[in-house]
Each structure stands twice: as structure tokens, then as C-alpha cells.
Amino acid sequence: YNLESTSADGQRLMALILLIAIAYTCAVLAGRNSRQMGLQKYIGRLKELNRLHRRHSAFWVGLYGQLWVGAMEFWADLAHDLMRLKPSKLPYFRKGLRAMSLIQSAL
């Protein structure tokens, strides 16, 4: 964050820092909740075999989960049309839709 460019001082600076801390905490908690529910595989790539550490942090998973749900809501009509084109893949689509609803409930 580039706090210097805000020209905030005193109470305004403290309010801005508090807002950033609250947003970060909300994203981390949403990411942890998504991981505990086993939804990370829908949100982002899991840990690869040769990696020592996880690919994405709980912060990233929380933020990207919100973006994923927002994009799915925005493109819902198109997604349902595509699902109708491939009826053999319907069980996989349903798993994704269930994951989306669980992520929405976690947020």
C-alpha cells in the first residue's frame, strides 16, 4: 500500500490503516474457511508435487474466491447455456455450482 500518497495524517491515517487491516483480516478468514471446507481446488491451483510451500496464501484464496463468485454471477446466463450444450458434463458443473454456493455462504 502506498500510504504516503494519501497525504493522510493523524486520525485519517489511523482510520485508513484500520480499514486496510480489517479488509486483510476478512480476506484471510474467508480463505481459511474455504480451505477448511475443501473448496480451494475450485478457487486456485493446489500445491504442486515439487513445491515446498503452498502456491497461494489464505489471503489470496479469500480474495480470489470473492472474484470467482462475482464472475460466476456476472456470467451466469452464459454458463447455464454452456452447461446445456454438454449434458454429459452436468455432474461436474453441479459440483462447481455447489462449490460456488458454499463459497458464497463462507463470505
Q: What is the pLDDT along the chain (107 residues), one digit of tens a residue?
A: 566 777 777 788 888 889 989 988 988 888 888 888 877 777 766 666 676 666 777 788 888 888 877 887 888 888 888 888 988 988 888 888 888 888 777 66
In terms of pTM, does the model score above 0.75? no
Between CA 28 and CA 20, with CA 5 as vertex, the angle to 5 degrees is 15
Distance CA 27, CA 24 (A): 5
Distance CA 93, CA 86 (A): 10
Instruction: Read off the DSSP letter of residue 57.
Output: -
